Structure 1
Amino acid sequence: MKNYSLVQHPLARAITVAAALCGADAALAQTKKIALEEVVVTAQKREQNLQDVPVAVTAFSAADLENAGVQDVTELQKSAPNVTMQVSRGTNTTLTAYVRGIGQADPLWGFEPGVGLYIDDVYIARPQGGVLDVYDVERIEVLRGPQGTLYGKNTIGGAVKYVTKRLTGEPELSINGTVGSYDQRDLKVSGQLPLIQDKLLFGASVAKFERDGFGEFLLNGEENYNKDIETARVSLEFLPTESLAFMLNADKTNDNSNAKGGHRMTPSLLVPDLPTPSNVFDSWADMDTNNSVDTSGVSLTVKWDLSDAFTFKSITAYREGETFTNIDFDSTPLGSVHVPAVYDDDQTTQEFQLTYVGDKLNLVTGLYYYEGSASGAFDVLLGAFNVAGPFDPSLGIFDAVTAGTVDTTSYSAYIHATYAFNDSWALTLGGRYTYDEKEAEVYKEQLFVDGMSSALGGQDLMSLAVLTDYTNDNDWSQFSPRISVDYTINDDMMAYASYSQGFKSGGFDMRGDASVNPNTVNGFDPEIVDTWELGYKAEFADGRVRMNAAIFYSDYTDMQVTVQEAVGGGSNYVSSVLNAGESEIQGVELEAITQLTENLSATVMLGYLDAEYKKVESGGTDIADLWEFANTPEKTGAIRLNYNRSLGSLGDIVLSGGASYRSETQIFATASPLDEKSYTLWDASAVWYSSDEHWTVGLHGKNLTDEEYRVGGYNFPGLGLEDSITAYYGNPRTVSLNLGYTF
């Protein structure tokens, strides 16, 4: 991989200038005292000033998200260092999330995500439906590094906390509509009212997000990369006493956007004269575009203030999801690599949490239980091997069907205690014990099927070979410690040093082929990361400059990596999950914001990662030199200017604009034509707020230079006698106009 220096990039020069401004007190001198607003987070399960938290965390308030026109959580990667949040290959709402090189490249059921996603403290186990649209939100926090001593489910790479607005008890109704490029049409309505004053509160939100496709399916003219999502949330809060609260939340989301067609990266072997579409959002895929992702959940949170110091919380939740999709791996007019798939999952979680806040000691401790089932089935229809001849379905369609279920039960206990020896020094000790059980059923068969595909209930099957058929179970346990020392230098500066361990349990490969890899029936082992971190948080120039920095080193062992390849002359594919022996990740993160004048502020973000495999054994050979970390750019950066001005009786206006940069990125562990070069995205926004605080008007432009950049793809050379190397891209240039009114 080429190693172009970030300092040669125009964005880097702009960041250098802005960083110089951040440190230039003389340039900040004002006749009128100005200061940055305090940022409050709950990263440690209690409300704290961001500058007092010895954790690497980036926080986005509702105002931040509105001023930048953020539409879904994937846009957060533009502003958080060493973070990747993108739409997974071939999907509309499945999330690919990486923090500091750790994540989940393969959204297949049965895998544990490396980055935990939480909605109101409820852990979301599966990435399907994880591309959350931003509405009715109070704030979003992105925590970097292992999170296990404060959160219900252990997460090895980091956590994303999506916190919805708490009911206030005041009657309120808000309507928000958006129109934009590609006939974007969004509508969000939310409101609340007291059913019994100060005792029983009710709130509800509904939203619909629609947009035409960025391209089309060239064979039938249907939309490609369109959006059709409906979502709703209902909240009920009962406050029988001042110290006791019951909060019931329910949500449901339906994504009926078309299945995505990909863009071929190499000429077709079967259709050599197939022209390459000039628009990367156009596709020659010929499968039916039917697609649906349905997710829903309900949670009950009980919060009881036992005293001024002790608080007990119980979080009970149930979630389920169902996906049906069609993926045309080769994106040609032939039925060479067609993959219809269904996924189904559910989860039940229970967390008991006790917090103590004292003069010297702050404590969080809890018990967590998770029980979930994830199932799925998919066909790989290879028309080149049909009975009657290539792509002749008259006597049966060649099919490699895969199906499986994994049931998971997890028990854990955690504690996180911080003791302040004096006004300067504090020590944090934490630990987590995790016990995970998994039972899996995996089946894979090659056959000819007449009519509907086998995974979806087809009949008249003729079996060729059963490749995998087993049931197995395993369990793993781990104690994961955390220790942190923080030193308050003065009222405006704090430094910390920490060690933490992350743990992700083992599992079973739902695509494993026992005929080629007999060891697949034994599953794969857990992975562990040990992270050492030094951090520094400071405010300068009477609160006009804020800078947070961290440097870290992670020792990553037994990393779970999926490797797939075509075998049997292209009539079969083999999936293997390897526990890559040893790897190291080290990096630097810088976030700074400065109030340059009373109206103008600048925000700067820089991230650097050096992630390297040290030992990877495959077939008795060390292939570490051939591998790179997936979805992990070496450099990330951003700069944004915000201008906020009062217009007197006409209200207020916020103007903002900036750019985000990502260096070269490898999509899989091994190099492929899918790998993406470095790119920069430029955005700009203008938001007006009326003086009576009722009206809001926003104009937002994204990817203004219409940069073309890949976010994922499929790499199956030789499968079905075709080179199926297919790419998926991030959004093109869009402009939207938003109008909101609050009664």
Structure 2
Amino acid sequence: MKNLHKILCVAMCSTALAPAAYAQNAPTQKKIENEAIIVTATLREANVQDIPLAVTAVAPEALEKQGVQDIKTLSSISPSFNIQSSQTETQGTSIKVRGVGTTGNNTGLESSVGVFIDGVYQSRPGVALGDLVDLERLEILRGPQGTLFGRNTSAGALNVTTKKANLSEVEGFVNASYGNYNFMNVQAGVSVPVVQDVAGFRLSGTYRKRDGYLESPSGVESNNRDRYMLRGQLYMEPSSDVSIRLLADYAKSDENCCNAVIVRETELAPFSAFHGLSDDGVAQSGLSALENLSINGPEYFNGSKQWGVSGELKWDLGGAKMTYIGSYRDFDSYTAYSGGFTSRNTYTVGNLTGLQAPSVGPSGDRIKTFTQELRFQGTAFNDKFDWLIGGFYSDEDITAKQTMSLGPDYQATGSAFNFANAAGVNPLFALTALGSGPGASIGAPVNSNGSFANNLFLQDAKSWSIFTHNVLYLTDKLSVTLGARYVNEKKEASFDQINGSGNACQASINGVLLGRVPGALSPGLIGLNCFAFATPVTVTAPAAVGGGLASRLLPLPREWAQTFKDDEITYTAQVSYKATPDVLIYGGYSHGFKSGGFNLDPQSATLQNSAAILAGLATTPTPVIVAPIYADPSFKSEKVDQIEIGVKTTIFDRIKANIALFDMKMSDFQVLEFTGVQFLTFNVNSARSTGVELEMFGNLSENISANFSATYADTRYPSNCANGVVVAAAASAARLCGSSLTNAPKFTMVYGMSYDGDLGSSGWGLSLNGNLSYSSKRRTSTIPLDTNNLPIPFDYQDAYFKVNTRIGLTTPNEQFTFELWGTNIFNEITRGITTNTPLRGGAGTRSRIGFVDEPRMYGLTVRAKF
């Protein structure tokens, strides 16, 4: 009844539900046009109803009406699309299509859904999170797209095209918005002919600012907005056969992001007083904290600055059309925070003044990407054969700095929430005395306060490919599409530690290796006092066990350098039959590929057979030397095979109805899990997504358009998904098998209508829009079972509806529009990702944090154009 009440309320409030989510080129006049939707999903301009692919094409007007300002909100208009962010947006953003995508907070992981802006590949989702402004069109391609779109599109691709400069007349626009949470947004653009009908210049930009919607008891806010972007371009058509487009952009963000709500507090919280803490650092937790958007920790900082240049040359050579696209992008991000989602001073990431240890540097990523693409396209045999060939090259350099220092509350907090009262008061502090004295003596306890590490990861990735995509028209109605791409990948990566210090870790290692620490306490002591992100790689083993680096005897961070190589042939084959001018039937098979790489984590190459090595050393009278086995920091490439069958139809010359059935089988599927103390990246044997998509959109009358789209996707890990998984990840993978994929609801839906017409005889235009989106329940954790094989609390996000509405008035000369709008107007509070709170509880007692989606937003927008 609650959901029905919401639907009825929206119907009465907005008169009509939802703007056209798909690319009905929403009208610039009051009457709705029913035009062909032209897309470039096959790297050729074509009517979306004539290509044998599942493509959602979105007009910029539809994005404006829905308040879609960046790709994070695209799920409100495309049920097959999902995007979530965790601790940082620049690094921890994941895109999914049909429930499939890479979940990650690790720079070494690349996305399964590629993002392309003006034909240029964006190497990470975080790089592509800038505002969507001054667009020509946006296309969501579902399923493997590796044949044409190249790198890392095993689940789909997002193809964004911005507007070209107008060569014949001056045009421009300004949009200004104000809303709750002190939301302010200004978008503007102008296009000016430089040489009439030959060359033009276009400049556009956006500035967005908003207070955070999460707040702590002390008034600290999180998840705000403070960003801007500028884009300039020079477009030239020196002849009818040649066009040249040069683009440059600069963007910067400086935000407090992304804190999380503690949705479940550990039962061990009362033990904080036992270990000498004045409080447990958590004042707000549970469902009340989620509903009230209440957090506990201090400010989280995450920002970036980036710039890029690209050029596109199109040249009709007569027998073929040549397209060249070259680009360079420099992306620099930073992250800084303390507290571990609580108010206790446990650790600090990055360099926060007054909180980090001396000598600790910034934490963040620098990604430099250079790409080149050249392709030729033409026809033969009286246009019966449409051919395309091309080549692609990319060179990406990553510099990832991960820095952390431990604070004064670290040891007491670690003791309270991991030992409770089992080992006495502050065992992490007291036990260090067993290894801090000279020789065989016992010294004074050592505190971990001030321990730190400046970790540096470098990766140089080069990729090149050659590809072809061809359409053979067997008859006027029957065609066959064949495409293939050979991809060659090479990555060279390394982990080096600039400097570090960890006296408590050294003392703990001494005590354990000298046999002074009870065996049951040893793993916990080392795991916490040698917290991987703040542990020096230079800690040593006592002389009694041979000395040298302790990482040869215990699972501790160690430096490494390694090379990854792989190559693959991706391909597609499709048959399409144009039964009538309004009905297209198609079926196809595609094989996709996403590159493997390296887990850029300090513990990615640790010792795996420590127990055997130590047992061998303890053998008397002659020690037995056991060869060390180290974890492989690399992970394998991901592959996908998809079968898709679809029908595209046009009914009554105005309603488009498309349906697609799909079955995607992934092998060596890439997974990242945060265990509470490290990021574990591994391949599982297999994953699968099977389902159906329905899209209906068109004009119900001269002034009313409507859309309905729905996706059913059964995404799951088969029962044998752990077969062949590396030893270090075998236990984690086994707990995945039989479950659904993360953030992959079985059923999602978008429904809406839009009215655009006259306001009586006044000459003013009236627009009414509303949008209803639905998601069934979905898992939000990487793994559904804890290490005790019991279900993790708060894993599932319950089913929900979200509603957006907008009402607008346009002046008689159509120069100004005034809009009142609201998104998520019933204030549904939902979680995107749920994970372990760092260092806070074990199996069955874990504290859990949830990263919260945007609550209700509303405001006023004024648009002007000339």
Superposed pair shares fold, TM > 0.5: yes
Pick aligned residue for 2:459 from 384, 388, 406? 406
Q: What residue number does 1:310 align with?
A: 320
Shift of 1:563: 2.9
SS in 2 for 1:65: helix
* CA distance 1:449–1:679, change in 2 (3 Å): farther
Shift of 1:64: 1.4
Pick aligned residue for 1:553 from 663, 669, 674? 663
Q: What residue number does 2:571 align with?
A: 481
Q: Which amino acid aligns with 1:550?
A: A
Range moving further from structure 2, 39-48 or 82-91: 82-91
Q: What residue number does 1:472 align with?
A: 562
Pick aligned residue for 2:860 from 700, 715, 737? 737
Range moving further from structure 2, 611-620 or 700-709: 611-620
Aligned-partner Cα distance in 1 for 2:503–2:250: 36
Contact 1:190 1:205 in 2 (8 A): yes
Contact 1:626 1:670 in 2 (8 A): no
Contact 1:528 1:558 in 2 (8 A): yes
Pick aligned residue for 2:294 from 271, 274, 282? 282
Contact 1:94 1:131 in 2 (8 A): no
Shift of 1:638: 1.2
Deviation string for 1:214-253 (max 9, x for gaps)?
133433x343221100110010123322211221101111
SS in 2 for 1:330: coil
Q: What residue number does 1:664 align with?
A: 777
Contact 2:91 2:105 in 1 (8 A): no
Range moving further from structure 2, 505-514 or 343-352: 505-514
Aligned residues: 708
Aligned-partner Cα distance in 2 for 1:607–1:631: 14
Q: Which amino acid aligns with 1:536?
A: V
SS in 2 for 1:468: coil
Q: What residue number does 1:534 align with?
A: 645
Aligned-partner Cα distance in 2 for 1:696–1:393: 67
Q: What residue number does 1:28 align with?
A: none
* CA distance 1:588–1:598, change in 2 (3 Å): same
SS in 1 for 2:828: coil
Aligned-partner Cα distance in 2 for 1:9–1:607: 24
* CA distance 1:521–1:223, change in 2 (3 Å): same
Residue 640, structure 1, aligned to residue 787, structure 2: no
Contact 2:326 2:372 in 1 (8 A): yes
* CA distance 1:114–1:449, change in 2 (3 Å): farther
Q: What residue number does 1:706 align with?
A: 827
SS in 1 for 2:636: coil
Residue 681, structure 1, aligned to residue 802, structure 2: yes
SS in 1 for 2:73: helix
* CA distance 1:241–1:596, change in 2 (3 Å): closer
Q: What residue number does 2:186 align with?
A: 187
Contact 1:387 1:395 in 2 (8 A): no
Q: What residue number does 1:133 align with?
A: 131
Pick aligned residue for 1:119 from 117, 120, 123? 117
* CA distance 1:654–1:718, change in 2 (3 Å): same
Aligned-partner Cα distance in 1 for 2:849–2:484: 44
Residue 291, structure 1, aligned to residue 302, structure 2: yes
* CA distance 1:574–1:37, change in 2 (3 Å): same
Q: Which amino acid aligns with 2:140?
A: V
* CA distance 1:396–1:136, change in 2 (3 Å): same
Please, which runs of 5 or more residues in structure 1 have no aligned partner?
Answer: 1-6, 23-32, 567-572
Q: Which amino acid aligns with 1:527?
A: E
Q: What residue number does 1:611 align with?
A: 715
Q: Which amino acid aligns with 1:739?
A: V
Deviation string for 1:259-304 (max 9, x for gaps)?
3221112225344483216554332113x54432112111011111
Range moving further from structure 2, 134-143 or 321-330: 321-330
* CA distance 1:361–1:597, change in 2 (3 Å): same
Aligned-partner Cα distance in 2 for 1:63–1:667: 32
SS in 2 for 1:150: helix
Q: What residue number does 2:198 align with?
A: 199
Shift of 1:637: 0.6
SS in 1 for 2:64: helix
Range moving further from structure 2, 640-649 or 586-595: 640-649
Contact 2:645 2:662 in 1 (8 A): yes
Aligned-partner Cα distance in 1 for 2:678–2:203: 47
Aligned-partner Cα distance in 2 for 1:122–1:335: 43
Aligned-partner Cα distance in 1 for 2:260–2:809: 39
Deviation string for 1:343-373 (max 9, x for gaps)?
1111000000112256322222210001001
Range moving further from structure 2, 254-263 or 518-527: 518-527
Contact 2:461 2:489 in 1 (8 A): yes
Aligned-partner Cα distance in 2 for 1:428–1:167: 34
Which structure has more strand as a fraction of its residues? 1
Aligned-partner Cα distance in 2 for 1:72–1:131: 6
SS in 2 for 1:699: strand
Q: What residue number does 1:353 align with?
A: 375
Pick aligned residue for 1:331 from 331, 337, 341? 341
SS in 1 for 2:456: strand
SS in 2 for 1:412: strand
| Identity score, percent | 28
Shift of 1:583: 2.3
SS in 1 for 2:89: coil
Please, which runs of 5 or more residues in structure 2 have no aligned partner?
Answer: 21-30, 273-278, 351-362, 414-425, 430-444, 505-529, 541-549, 552-556, 609-628, 785-791
Mapping 1:209-228, distance limit 5 Å: 209-219=208-218, 221-228=219-226
Mapping 1:127-166, distance limit 5 Å: 127-166=125-164
* CA distance 1:217–1:378, change in 2 (3 Å): farther
Higher CA-based Rg: 2
Contact 2:453 2:535 in 1 (8 A): no
In the superposition, the TM-score normalised over structure 1's length comes to: 0.88
Shift of 1:134: 2.0
Pick aligned residue for 1:343 from 355, 358, 365? 365
Deviation string for 1:644-695 (max 9, x for gaps)?
2123562322211121011112123312434311111011112333332321
Contact 1:188 1:207 in 2 (8 A): yes
Q: What residue number does 1:515 align with?
A: 606
SS in 2 for 1:628: coil
Shift of 1:591: 0.5
Aligned-partner Cα distance in 1 for 2:503–2:305: 28
SS in 2 for 1:714: strand
Residue 601, structure 1, aligned to residue 705, structure 2: yes
* CA distance 1:318–1:487, change in 2 (3 Å): same
Pick aligned residue for 2:813 from 692, 701, 722? 692
* CA distance 1:686–1:484, change in 2 (3 Å): same
Contact 1:349 1:371 in 2 (8 A): yes
Shift of 1:95: 3.5
Aligned-partner Cα distance in 1 for 2:163–2:95: 24
Deviation string for 1:160-179 (max 9, x for gaps)?
01111111122123221111
